[in-house]
Amino acid sequence: MSLYTLAVSGMTCEHCARTVEKALAGVAGVTAAQVSYESSTARVEARDGVPEAALLEAVKAKGYGAEPLEARGSSGPGRVASANKVTRPARKAEAGLHIAIVGSGSGAFATAIQAVDAGAQVTLIEAGTLGGTCVNVGCVPSKIMIQAAHVAHTHAASSFPGIASRPAQVNRAALVVQQQNRVEELRVAKYQNIVDANAGINVLQGFARFKDHHTLIVKRPDSRETQLRADRILIATGASPAVPPVPGLKESPYWTSTDALVAEELPKHLVIIGSSIVAIELGQAFLRLGSKVTMIARSKVLFREDPAIGDALEAALREEGMTILTHTQTRSVAHRDGMFQVETSAGVIEGDRLLVATGRRPNTSGMNLEAIGVKLDERGAIRVDDHLRTSVPDVYAVGDCTNQPQFVYVAAAAGTRAAINMTGGDAVLDLTAMPAVIFTDPQVATVGLSEAEANLKGIETDTRTLTLDNVPRALANFDTRGFIKLVVEAGTGRLLGAQAVAAQAGELIQTAALAIRNRMTVNDLAGQLFPYLTMVEGLRLCALTFTKDVKQLSCCAG
């Protein structure tokens, strides 16, 4: 007989553990299987000859991650560890270890810094601007623009009758100068200065493609080609705006988010194709800065989220004056005399600017990935496991070019763990309690499982939704748009997920993330001390609704 110990990732409750246990018990030759949700491990007793790969596949077939931790039998005992932690810490890399990193964004730099700390030499290969998406054309400039638009909106729409409202005088060109100066400051401080101060990091300008899984061919800006060999290679090439195959679109001077963020003139009428995160964030910003905005949504606003989220945000955007055409197909685009004519299933929409915001595609083409065996998903994203390994030995990938969520903090966390794994350690990226924020007003923030996601996993749930007219801070702000929703496991009350549409939702969601990470119940959450008056107190009030009518409580009572 052989005894296997597996690390199982992705479990959110005891029901998950039982699902994995049943899957393992169903593998031919398995005589016993025990799965612990608490330690994220599975112990399997099987007849000699049962392939370990069959056990791993059985777990993965149920939607969970699995890695071998111990195999006992003729080979003797191995290592045992928790899947949620660094199980073999980073150590000094083998002498002369060379890591090549394709890309120079947050994931790439997190990898480089950690790898150099472990003693490796790193070569960063960048075809464009150092720093990647976030600092240059993503998070930083967009949030600056959104904040400027918020200031303009508060001038024009005061919630207090004692403060006169008046339209803000907006100088878009001046705003762009301020914005891009800050982008440049951060790019130098957080990227260029790190390279300059670190002898272990070398930057090679050019576009890289694979010759084999240890060799890259880099086409330099002068068209010369350099061959680079490395012991490990990390792909961190990010993603770019996706452009749908709409007739006439490619022939027109449409904007992507990159163009929109640095445009120095405000459109009179901005037409947006798409209802993604980028579409609604930039759409609301332009609306508040003074443009008329029409959004064309093929389905609904934020259709991938809990339906209540899209409904609440759509109502808020319409109230501010945005025109939103839901369930509308874009059929063609024409550009004549400085105007766009967008033909849709709801008629022709005309505007002086057109923003295409229909998602982002992984930057994986032209790298010869398929030829060396790197597996991609249907979107062209690189498939990685929870150790950030691709399907090819010694080739890792992190960030928006992979099948992981496209958030900069996920890329950075993945980069640190990839470096640990490439230099002899053992680290897992666990996204069970990953928070996400959309920077509209009100903000949208989520963590863990939605009700629908939990039900798809076969988990019986209980939920409560608290409207913000029950949250004292929202009442004091005279802004009760939105709600807070908690999803718990029926019977145990363990918190599985949280969704919020609220002012400062992004600030309150991390408390829910920590509660999920620490496997708290709603009763645990309701019993915590929350400062009054804060928006995060809404989490406690929502938790209380599982057992009480909060309308019948005095302030701070519980």
Q: What residue ranges of the chain have pLDDT lower than 50?
A: 70-87
CA distance 319 to 368: 49
Which of these is catalytic: 4, 13, 37, 322? 13
For helices 106-117 and 408-422, angle between their N-to-C axes, nearest 10 degrees: 30
The yes-or-no answer on residue 556 being catalytic is yes
Mean pLDDT of the chain: 93
CA-closest candidate to residue 511, choices 83, 481, 524 = 524
Which of these is catalytic: 4, 37, 64, 254? 64
What type of residue sits at position 7? A
Report how far apart, in Å, the C-alpha atoms of 261 and of each of 145, 149, 265, 313 are: 7, 12, 11, 22
- Residues sharing a CB contact under 8 Å with residue 141, sequence separation 6 or more, in sequence order: 179, 180, 183, 261, 262
**3-state secondary structure labels for all residues of 511-552:** HHHHHHHCCCEHHHHHCCCCCCCCCCHHHHHHHHCCCCCHHH
Q: DSSP assignment, residue 469?
A: G
DSSP code string of 89-118:
---PPPTT-EEEEE--SHHHHHHHHHHHHT
- Show the CA angle centred on residue 397, arms to residues 393 and 403, nearest 5°: 115
CA distance 260 to 280: 13
Give pLDDT, residue 78.
30
CA distance 104 to 130: 6
What type of residue sits at position 150? H
What does the radius of gyration of the chain's CA atoms come to, in whole angstroms? 26
For helices 52-60 and 14-25, angle between their N-to-C axes, nearest 10 degrees: 140
SS3 at position 28:
coil
Give pLDDT, residue 11.
75
- Residues sharing a CB contact under 8 Å with residue 15, sequence separation 6 or more, in sequence order: 457, 458, 459, 460, 489
Give pLDDT, residue 49.
86
The burial of 123, by beta-carbon neighbours within 10 Å (0-12 exposed, 13-18 middle, 19 or more buried), is given as buried
**Tokens encoding 128:** 């464009």
- pTM attached to this predicted model: 0.85
**3-state secondary structure labels for all residues of 209-242:** EEEECCEEEEECCCCCEEEEECCEEEECCCEEEC
Contact (CB, 8 A) for 93 and 119? yes
Beta-sheet pairing, 98-102 with 41-46:
unpaired
Q: Is the peptide bond before 442 cis (omega within 30 degrees of 0)?
A: yes
Which of these is catalytic: 4, 11, 322, 535? 11
Which of these is catalytic: 4, 37, 134, 542? 134
**Tokens encoding 464:** 């409560």
Which of these is catalytic: 4, 16, 322, 396? 16
Q: Which residues pair with 240 in a beta bridge?
A: 361
The yes-or-no answer on residue 64 being catalytic is yes
The yes-or-no answer on residue 13 being catalytic is yes
**Tokens encoding 551:** 């309308």
DSSP code string of 124-183:
EEESS-TTHHHHHHSHHHHHHHHHHHHHHHHHH--S-TTS--------HHHHHHHHHHHH
DSSP code string of 234-293:
EE---EEE-----TTSTTS--B-HHHHHH-SS--SEEEEE--SHHHHHHHHHHHHHT-EE
Q: Which structural domains are found in the chain, ordered by start?
A: 2-72 (3.30.70.100), 98-241+362-422 (3.50.50.60), 257-358 (3.50.50.60), 436-552 (3.30.390.30)
The yes-or-no answer on residue 401 being catalytic is no
The yes-or-no answer on residue 542 being catalytic is no
Determine the straight-line distance between the first and last CA of the chain, rounded to whole angstroms: 55
Contact (CB, 8 A) for 483 and 500? yes
Which of these is catalytic: 1, 339, 535, 555? 555
Contact (CB, 8 A) for 374 and 390? yes
